[in-house]
Structure 1
Amino acid sequence: MNWLFLAVAIVFEIAVAISASRAHGFTRPGWTAATLLSGGIATYFLSLALLTFDVGAGYAIWTSVAGVGIVVLGAVLFGQSLSRHKLLGIAVVIIGVAGLQLSGAA
């Protein structure tokens, strides 16, 4: 169940970033509300996941996977570039997260 909680937290963390980019400095009330609500939900589910994950590993996985998701969705939805350097960075993050998992930290 802890992986499900972490997955939900990741999805809502990605929603935070997308909503925040659309909120334009919190000048758009609907997007501002979406940012704050999704942030609360992400944090709640992260806290549930951290009942069984080591805090360092759980938080690292949460932020890393969400970061990769945000970069990929930025490219797919908003036409942002995916350069070789960004792809290399994504690969390094994935290797790092896999290393945390294989170390038994999560």
Structure 2
Amino acid sequence: MTWVTLFVAGLLEVVWAFSMKQSEGFTRLGPSLITLAAMLASFSLLSWSMRVLPLGTAYTIWTGIGAVGAFAVGVIFLGESASLMRLIALGLIVGGLVLMRLSTPG
């Protein structure tokens, strides 16, 4: 259950990153409120996960899910570049996440 909670926390990090971009510097109320709510939920779930998982593992997985998810959202919804170099970097991040998960019991 801890890993599922951490995964959801990571997905919520993607939500708040995207809604923060949509808030245009917190000048739009709706996206600003979504950003704050998703941040609170994401941090809460991350904190809960850290009761069981080591700090380094939990934080690395959380930020990695956020980074990969934000990249995907940027490319799919915001028309950001998916150059070969960026895709290689993405692959390295995913590889690091897989190794971190495999190296942590539970």
TM-score class, shorter: over 0.9
Question: For structure 2, which runs of at least 5 residues remain unmatched after alignment?
Answer: none
SS of match in other structure, 2:53: coil
Is the contact between residue 54 and residue 105 of structure 1 (CA under 8 Å) also seen in structure 2?
Answer: no
What TM-score do you get using the length of structure 1 for normalisation? 0.94
Aligned amino acid, residue 88 of structure 2: L
Superposition RMSD on alpha carbons, in Å? 1.2
Counterpart Cα distance in 2 of 1:56 and 1:88: 24
Query: What is the CA–CA distance in structure 1 between the aligned matches of 2:4 and 2:78, rounded to whole Å?
Result: 28
Amino acid in structure 1 at the alignment position of 2:27: T
Quote the residue 2:29 is aligned against.
29
- 1:47-91 per-position Cα deviation (integer Å, ceiling 9, x unaligned): 111111101111001001110011011111111111111101111
What runs of 5+ residues in structure 1 fail to find an aligned partner? none
Runs of 4+ in 1 over 6 A off after TM superposition: none
Contact 1:19 1:34 in 2 (8 A): yes
TM-score by length of structure 2 reads 0.94
Deviation at 1:102, TM superposition (A): 2.2
**2:62 is the counterpart of 1:66:** no
2:40 corresponds to 1:40: yes
Q: How many residues align?
A: 106
Secondary structure of residue in 2 paired with 1:17:
helix
Give the fraction of aligned pairs with identical amino acids, expressed as a percent.
Answer: 30
State the partner residue of 1:11: 11
| Contact 1:16/1:36 (<8 A) preserved | yes
Distance, in Å, in 1 between the alignment partners of 2:73 and 2:52 is 29
